[in-house]
Amino acid sequence: MSKFWIILFVVPCLVLSQSRKKKPIIEEIKFSIEPNVRVMKAIGDNAMNKALSPFVGFGIGGTLDFYKGFGLTAEYNYLTANLDKDNQGGLFGYMSAATMHNFEFSGVYKHNIGEDVDLEALAGASIYRITSKFIDKGGNFNEGNAGFHIGGKILYTLDREGVQQVLCGTKLNYYTASIRNQNPKIEEFYSKAWFLNISLAYRINF
C-alpha cells in the first residue's frame, strides 16, 4: 500500500517537472513592427512598365512569429510614380503622378544562418489600388485589383538582446486589374504586370 502512495506522489511530480521544461506556447509568440522604404519597378511588356516610372514610397508592417520560425505578416505601402514623358498622353492620357496603395498579407518562415543573421522567405496575397487625375479632361483615374507576391529578406541583428534589426528584402509582385478588351493581347497589356520590389527596413522585436 505504501508503494502505491509513493508512486501516486512521484508520477505527478515527474509530469510537472517535465511540463516546466517545455516552453509554453505563449512564450513562443513574438511580435515585430518594421517601417520601410521601397521601390517597385514594373518589368516586361506591359502598360505599367511602358508608361510609368518606378513606384517609390514607404510603408509599415507587422510580423507575428508563433511556431518554430513560422509566422504571419501584414503590411501597408504608399507609393508614387510619374508618367514617362515619352508616353504621356498616349497609353493612359494626360495624367498627374500616379499613387499606389498596396496591402499585403503573407505567410513567413525565418531561418537563422549565423549569430546575427537571419533569412526570411514569404509568400502571400496582395491588394493594389492605383489612382491619379486626368489633367486635360478632369476626373479621376482609378484602377486595381488583387494579385500575389513571393520573396525573401535578409536580416542583421544590431544588439545582443535581438530587439533591433535592419533588413533588405526583395519580392516579385504580380498585379492584375479589371480591364476588358475584345483583343486579348491589348487586355493583357493593360491589365497584368510583374513588379520587382526592393525594400530596406528597420525592425523592432517585442
**pLDDT tens readout for residues 70-108:** 999 999 999 999 887 665 445 555 667 889 999 999 999
| φ, ψ at 38 (rounded to 5°) | -155, 160
Nearest CA-CA partner of 145 in 118, 179, 95, 116: 179
Residue 4 parent element (H or E): helix 2-21
| pTM over the 0.85 mark | no
**pLDDT tens readout for residues 6-50:** 544 454 455 455 544 555 555 578 999 999 999 999 999 998 888
Nearest CA-CA partner of 36 in 71, 75, 70: 75
Q: What is the set of domains in the chain, with CATH numbers?
A: 25-205 (2.40.160.20)
